[in-house]
Amino acid sequence: MSPAINSVPTAEILNSNNPSKTVLPTLTPPSSAPAFHGLIYAVHARVANPEADLQISVFEKSGKPQWKWAKGLGLRGEYLLRLFGIKDGLEFYISTGRILGKYKEFCNNGPPPFLLLGYQVERSISELLLTLFAQRNGVNVWHGHQADVQKTDVIPIKNVSNKSEVVTRSPLLVDGTGRFRQYSSKVSRVKRFEGFNTDAFWGYWQCEDEDASHTNHMCFPEGWVWMIRLLSWEGTPLPNLMDMINYLLDHAQANSPNDEIPSTNELAQMFGCSPKWVYSIGFSVRDDIVLVQEYKKIGAVMSHFTLINEPYGPGTTWAIRKQLTYQTQVVSGPGWVTVGDGIGFTNPLHSPGITSGMATGVFAADLTAAAIKVKNEEERKALWSRYDEYCANAVTSLHIMNIFNYNCFRVPILAARVSLMWQFTVAIAPPGYTLGHIGYVLPLKKYTEYNLNWVWGSQVPEYVKVSRYALSKLEPIPLSERPSDEVVEDIIRFSEEVRIKAMAENRFPTRWNGLFRNFDRQLNYDEVKNELQDVFTNVCSNCGTWAAVRGDWRKCYTCGVIRPQEECDITWNPPLVERELQVAEQKAKAEQEAMAMKQESMPMKQDSMPMKQEGMGMMK
């Protein structure tokens, strides 16, 4: 990177990619912040509704994407696994006591890499990726610019570096400032749920001898600890990262297959980047006093890690959030709407702020074209009434989901057999919206409807019944007291009655014996059944990094070596049944047809290899 480029402010470098070279005086509409949900809103409004031709600008006071804790992101694997760490399922260790360190386990595996992949992402680079993707789709993302949202129709935009100001007009302001609630805080107080709240604190760590493809959770009566392995690009010059990401986006646009794309290490060398593996480790607890000292298991695990001092600059060693749970009572009004965490938040457990909160951005985006045309307040209220109702119900349902999980952490068998089993059952296979049955392929126009009906499964009738019943038994018991065996057995009995009825009615028909470590296909619990589970990841024999396995992915996306075929094949344990084979075959055929069509329409790159057509190779 030349000294001239190095002297240019990061905001100017990012803003140079915008379709417009200056802030426009009239916008249709702006979003006030480009954090995750503001960018999701902007991209969806442009991509899913091209006929509206919305002129969207996003304003961010900071000069570059900021650091936050790690989250999961579900997008196309061939390209994103070069940037992010893999997220292959979730592992929970629920402690039975402070002295002995015994625990129960729950493990949710998958889904299969050829259907869908999950990632653990460093938020600064994920938001940079979304920024560049938004700019490619006609969205202006202005870093180093602050929207002064005292009003919704006339908005001064201040340039943070030179203090200049441009006044812009828009029929709709979208507040994507999350918990800061930059505009919604002016018209509505937050609501706190009485009787339960949590705090969180986290940092970033180095570890030489701890390695896992699953995201690990250590749970105990007061709360839980997350341990997330992720790829950090901190310290790499911004122009280098932008060039690398745009290069990957070019590959994505060309639909390049995995084995034709440079690996992470190769990309780092090509673009002068410096990736490194780190861990995000954090506590989300009711009471955070001397937890590491009191829980021997946590203390033993933490002894393997070394805290990274100020990984993102001064003041970033530890992050702290107090009183996590809240709800915004008014989320839309004349000329404005709030998306993302601005509507409310519960807890980082299961990441509902992003996974469920995404529905607010895409729903608001779908309503935008009509919203900017409303003639009066009556029309506006009618248009946004379902949005308001969704936000109110979603936060309430997610709050109940959260206290259900926390209360079951008090008795490990309740967490392993009841709360976590139901949590992932209703989230993976919500009746009428089971994406696994259609290969995780959903038309863009149907995505909002799916997302509004998902909400982590917290509104599925069976889940509602079991969670309410369990809470009626557990909440009256003080946290300092262990629930009696009679209470525990009664909750399990009720859960089993609901499960047996649901499975008899075929409410959740999915491959549970491969996805859940301690359950069979009918969701019968077996504490010793842990040898039967599908295997979707293994360690690359060359570089030692965990890798997703697909029969048609021979190249290690981390180091670039061509792996032996036996390292690339999925282990189906137990074997697939006919219906599962059909879904896998349909997905494989659809991907290969898409690749073929894309390659026919584009010239072959000089450094590319011909794609091998291997039929069912990806699901071997």
If pLDDT is split at 50, 70 and 90, which confidence band does 565 have? Answer: very high
Report for 143-157, 332-346, 458-472, 575-589: range of highest mean pLDDT: 458-472
For residue range 287-297, what is the model confidence (pLDDT) as tens digits? 544 454 556 66
Cβ within 8 Å of residue 468, ≥6 positions away: 400
Does residue 602 register a pLDDT over 60? no
For the stretch 413-444, pLDDT in tens is 999 999 999 999 999 999 988 887 777 778 88
Q: How many residues does the chain have?
A: 620
Query: Could you count the other beta carbons within 10 Å of the beta carbon of residue 223?
Result: 21
Residues labelled catalytic = 87
**pLDDT confidence of 365, banded at 50, 70, 90?**
very high
Residue range 503-534, pLDDT digits in tens: 999 999 988 988 898 999 999 999 887 667 88
Beta strands (DSSP E) in 347-477 are none
pLDDT of amino acid 607: 36
Most confident range (mean pLDDT) of 94-98, 127-131, 582-586 is 127-131
User: Picking from 79-83, 574-578, 604-608, which range would have the lowest pLDDT averaged per residue?
Assistant: 604-608
Going by C-alpha positions, the residue among 337, 331, 306 that lies closest to residue 395 is 331
614 confidence band (pLDDT: 50, 70, 90): very low
Eight-class DSSP state of 457: G
CA distance 458 to 115: 24
Q: What is the pLDDT of residue 5?
A: 45
Q: Which of 299-303, 431-435, 565-569 has the lowest mean pLDDT?
A: 299-303
Q: How confident is the model at residue 161 (pLDDT cuts 50, 70, 90)?
A: confident
More confident position, 486 or 515:
486
pLDDT of residue 2: 44
Considering the chain, what percentage of its residues have pLDDT values greater than 90? 50
Global pTM value: 0.88
| pLDDT tens column, 374-397 | 999 999 999 999 999 999 999 999
CA nearest 128: which of 191, 36, 216? 36
> From start to end of 122-241, where are the E strands?
140-143, 145-147, 154-159, 165-169, 173-175, 190-191, 199-206, 215-220, 223-232
The predicted structure's pLDDT at residue 302: 77
Residues β-bridged to residue 332: 337
The CA-atom distances, in angstroms, between 475 and each of 199, 352, 389, 495 are 19, 22, 27, 17
Evaluate the omega torsion of the peptide bond into residue 352 and state whether it is cis, within 30 degrees of 0: no
